[in-house]
Amino acid sequence: MFPPSPFSPPEENLPFTGIATFAGYPLWEEGRDVDAVFLGIPYDEGTTYRPGTRFGPRAIRDASMFYSYEGVEGRFYDADRRKWILAGKKVVDAGDVQIEPLCLEKNWTIITRTVTSILEAGAVPAIVGGDHSITFPVVRALKGRKIHYVHFDTHVDCDRISYSSFTHGSPVLLIMEQELAESITIIGVRGLTNSGQDISWIEEKGVKTLTARELRTWLTRPDPVFFEEGEYYISVDIDFFDPSLAPGTGTPEPGGLFFEHFSDVLQIIAERGEIIGFDVVEMNPFLDDRGNVTAHLAARCVLELMSSALDKR
Ligand SMILES: [Mn+2]
């Protein structure tokens, strides 16, 4: 018996062998029938503090190989919820968007175009960043569809700083200005790096917010009609989570939320509506701890979002 080629696909599903793809799923070949497409957007030129999230997709892909153990057919048993998730779902990895340094307009056009091609294939775009500025060109691909936009974040991301509204602090502002969403909900707001004016301004404009403290209380008796029925796009800034479980991010803020909070809210949204796309952003491997816990958390969030989007279909 000859040993298998080192270039063969990761059939053995060992997390530490072969070429890393998201959770060991196959690469996307055009024309292939797919349910969700994982896409990296290694862009961090919108960062206003500590850069490095351009290496997020690579770190998350690598960490996600932890979930390749169970094999493509057998995945996944969610022991906590005692149910199978993503069973039989066709997930692929499309690699990364090609970024050209210092070409904002060009990069954002390519991002929108790539996400459009995923939507045209009838699949859910599963995006990882990159910094939070990538969310606007991603959501722009959904223009014309009546979407509800949910933003998990420490910050309300409505910065209108004089020099630019294209930073990672501005995606919600751009989505509002371009009227890309029927409704906007921001979950997990906290800390001392939001301006009080921004929060009152967006609430005046009809944006719903749940602060981190409010969310903990809300989850003890969730209001079933808080989320409307319809199509949802979900954006997750990893700084939503407490820095103890997500140290690898540019703007850590104490008092954050835990995975079960995220998962529980997501479950409620998925019961009310249909999740048609999502992103996980702001994971910075240079600031992660030695166990890469933030990269693993981001990979797990992607799987949780994929399940919320696909398991109802
Ligand atoms: Mn953000």
pLDDT, average across residues 1-15 = 59
Query: How far does the centroid of ligand 1 lie from the alpha carbon of residue 46, in Å?
Result: 11
Q: Look at 241 and 7; give whichever has higher pLDDT.
A: 241
pLDDT at 2 over 70: no
pLDDT at residue 131, rounded to an integer: 98
* Residue 160, pLDDT score: 79
Which pLDDT score, from 0 to 100, does residue 183 have?
Answer: 98
Write down the residue that tokens 């702001």 correspond to: 282
Q: What is the percentage of the chain residues whose pLDDT exceeds 90?
A: 87
CA of 145 to the centre of ligand 1 (A): 23
In the predicted model, is pLDDT for residue 4 greater than 60?
Answer: no
Read off the pLDDT of residues 125-148 as tens digits, 9 standing for 90 and up: 999 999 999 999 999 999 999 999
| Predicted confidence band of residue 32 (pLDDT cuts 50, 70, 90) | confident
Ligand 1 centre to CA of 235 (Å) is: 9
Q: Grade residue 9 by pLDDT with cuts at 50, 70 and 90.
A: low
pLDDT interval class at 8 (50, 70, 90) = low
CA 304 to centroid of chain Cα atoms:
10
In the reported structure, the alpha carbon of residue 199 is separated from the centroid of ligand 1 by a whole-number distance in angstroms of: 14
Strand-by-strand arrangement of the 183-189 sheet: 91-96, 36-41, 124-129, 273-281, 230-237, 147-152, 183-189, 208-211
For residue 169, the CA-to-ligand 1 centroid distance in Å is 6
Is 312's pLDDT higher than 90? no
Ligand 1 (ion): residues with CB under 5 Å are 132, 153, 157, 237
**For the domain bounded by 22-310, which CATH number is listed?**
3.40.800.10
Domain ranges of the chain: 22-310
Mean pLDDT of 196-215: 96
pLDDT given at position 163:
66
Tokens of 199: 């929060």
DSSP run (H or E) holding 93: strand 91-96
The gap between the terminal CA atoms of the chain, to the nearest Å, is: 43
pLDDT of 27 over the 70 cut: yes
pLDDT at residue 175, as a whole number = 97
pLDDT at 228 exceeding the cut of 90: yes
pLDDT at 162 over 80: no
Alpha carbon separation from 89 to 10, 72, 120, 257 (Å, rounded): 18, 9, 18, 29
Burial 221-236 (b: 16+ CB within 10 A, else e): eeeeeebeeeebbbbb
Q: Which residues pair with 205 in a beta bridge?
A: none
Say what the pLDDT of residue 7 is.
54
Determine the pLDDT at residue 68.
87
pLDDT digits (tens, 9 = 90+) for 78-112: 999 999 999 999 999 999 999 999 999 999 999 99
Residues forming beta bridges with residue 281, ordered by sequence position = 237
Closest CA to 135 of 125, 145, 146, 120: 125
pLDDT digits 0-9 by tens, 241-283: 999 999 999 999 999 999 999 999 999 999 999 999 999 999 9
- pLDDT of 165-195, one tens digit each? 899 999 999 999 999 999 999 999 999 999 9
Task: Give me the phi and psi of 16, to 5 degrees please.
Answer: -110, 10
What are the pLDDT digits (tens) for 39-77? 999 999 999 999 999 999 999 999 999 998 766 566 899
- Distance in Å, CA 32 to ligand 1 centroid: 33
Q: Kindly tell me if the per-residue pLDDT of 10 is higher than 90.
A: no
Ligand 1 geometric centre to CA of 75 (Å): 31
What is the reported pLDDT for 71? Answer: 60
Query: Nearest Cα to 158, choosing from 194, 211, 204?
Result: 194
